[in-house]
């Protein structure tokens, strides 16, 4: 950690428990899934400081974290939560359907046959 509170992004993500290992954090950054103040982080050695806003795409979710402090170790989850302020939007409920969505309709005879239709075809082929 530098004297002015800056820290490598891969170390910070590891200390904040965003990923399980520092090498996974480095891969996440190099893959372009981390943004620092809306700019894509190019390398795992990019520095973050308190006040920076990170946008992380992880497991189909978008996390928006504001860096509160640099980390000194990978401690328990309570300690990790003190390193950032979560600004992420609330996830949409999974069971809520889009109100304007129309149920998909399939014309009869198109697509794969149902089990019932397959049995009827088999009876016709066997002659029974």
| 74-85 pLDDT per residue, tens | 999 999 999 999
β-strand pairing of 53-58 with 47-48: unpaired
Alpha helices in the chain (DSSP H): 9-15, 22-30, 77-81, 115-126
The C-alpha atoms of residue 109 and residue 122 are separated, in whole angstroms, by 16
Q: What is the CATH number of domain 7-86?
A: 3.10.290.10
Q: Is the pTM of this model over 0.85?
A: no
Q: Where are the domains of the chain?
A: 7-86
Render pLDDT for 86-120 as a digit per residue (tens, 0 to 9): 999 887 676 665 666 676 777 776 788 889 989 99
């Amino acid at each position: 950690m530098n004297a002015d509170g800056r820290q490598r992004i891969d170390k910070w993500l590891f200390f904040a428990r965003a990923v399980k290992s520092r090498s996974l954090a480095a891969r996440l950054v190099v893959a372009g899934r981390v943004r620092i103040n809306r700019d894509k982080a190019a390398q795992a050695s990019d520095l973050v400081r308190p006040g920076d806003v990170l946008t992380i795409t992880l497991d189909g979710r978008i996390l928006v974290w504001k860096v509160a402090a640099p980390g000194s170790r990978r401690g328990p989850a309570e300690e990790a939560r003190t390193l950032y302020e979560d600004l992420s939007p609330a996830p949409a409920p999974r069971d809520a359907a889009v109100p304007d969505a129309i149920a998909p309709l399939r014309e009869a005879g198109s697509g794969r046959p149902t089990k019932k239709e397959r049995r009827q075809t088999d009876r016709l082929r066997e002659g029974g």
